[in-house]
A and B are shown apart, each in its own frame.
Chain A
């Protein structure tokens, strides 16, 4: 029977709810306030660190300015080394390619004319020995096409004539 008797009045129960509400909101406020405080302090710390770094940067720049002439020379050297490397690596090596082609032509031929451009090298050669042309076509030029260093696209014979000697004009085309 005792269990059925409610000793807590309505007013006291409301008091209890209000106290809990107050505690909960006070706790929330406390946490948020503390978080805001921590973040503000951390932000101030970061700003102080940034200011210190900026001072160090200014100081380093001042020290570098003291080496004015050497700094200028080093920068020019670096810039020119890059440019020189760029030029050397991108040169078309026309003379090297021409030289490689001429090296495959036997001594029995006379080199009468050479015209070398970026994508095509034309060589005019002559010989009194017709058999030498067979060797040139079947062995020498074949070997040249198999080599990959020249990056050859095709070899064309634009004319073969006989006026005293046999004259042949060969055009070597490259993949550029």
Chain B
């Protein structure tokens, strides 16, 4: 048997080497080269994402280094006045009184539909179309004329917390306003998970200035 194999080898020696090299070349092409192309393409894509991530994080570091704690705390105070973290009855009463005083009207009474008080999730009754929870308030206001009543609404529009008048019903000198006051709880989980921070744009800064003017 061994001798027979040796005879075959001697006879086809010159064909065996090229055949073996061709088979080896095919093996390398399919088992090494093609998978490497796929690996390289995938790694390039991952590197691109990682580079973008690193760039965002480095930008965030720059923002954090250049932002003063006092300035950001001031912005946060303005925005917490605009959108309280909970259903803040004191702030709502303050806004109604302030608008009444600025429009020469008198706040006779107001009632709130408080809804849920505790809980991580905002109840469906408090959810608004805008996606920010709200408290429904009915305020009764009296004035010398109807125009002052409308002025009360306009002043309330420019008072914090942010609100939206849903209905005005004025007869004579007495007006009933259905108002939605907005609030926004802080989602600590969401905030702590995020690492990328971006600076406020000029539009954001303008909005903050406007809100600061509207302060109660």
Which residues of A line the B interface, CB within 8 A?
A: 15, 18, 21-22, 24-26, 28-29, 32-33, 35-36, 39-40, 42-43, 46-47, 49-50, 53-54, 56-57, 60-61, 63-64, 67, 69-81, 83-88, 90-96, 98-99, 102, 111-118
Contact = CB atoms under 8 A, between A and B. Distances in A.
B50 A84 contact: no
Query: By DSSP majority rule, is chain B's interface helix, strand, loop, or mixed?
Result: helix
Contact of B79 (A64, A67, A77, A98): A77
B157 A95 contact: yes
Contact of A70 (B57, B67, B145, B164): B67
Interface stretch (B1-9, B26-34, B116-124): B26-34
B14 interface: yes
A22 B118 CA distance: 84
A98 B208 CA distance: 27
Given A73-B76, A81-B204, A18 B82 contact: no
A54 B182 CA distance: 42
12 contacts: A21-B14, A29-B22, A39-B37, A47-B43, A50-B50, A75-B194, A95-B153, A95-B168, A98-B150, A99-B153, A102-B146, A113-B172
Interface residues of B, number: 81
Contact of B82 (A21, A84, A112): A84
A94 B175 CA distance: 14
B202 interface: no
A76 to B, nearest CB: 6
B167 A117 contact: yes
Interface of B: 14-15, 17-19, 21-22, 24-25, 28-29, 32-33, 36-37, 39-40, 43-44, 46-47, 50-51, 53-54, 57-58, 60-61, 63-64, 67, 69, 72-73, 75-76, 79-80, 82-83, 129-132, 145-147, 149-151, 153-154, 156-157, 162, 164-172, 175, 182, 184, 186, 191-192, 194-195, 197-198, 200, 203-204, 207-208, 211
- In this complex, the member of B146, B149, B154, B208 whose beta carbon has the largest number of chain A beta carbons within 10 angstroms is B146
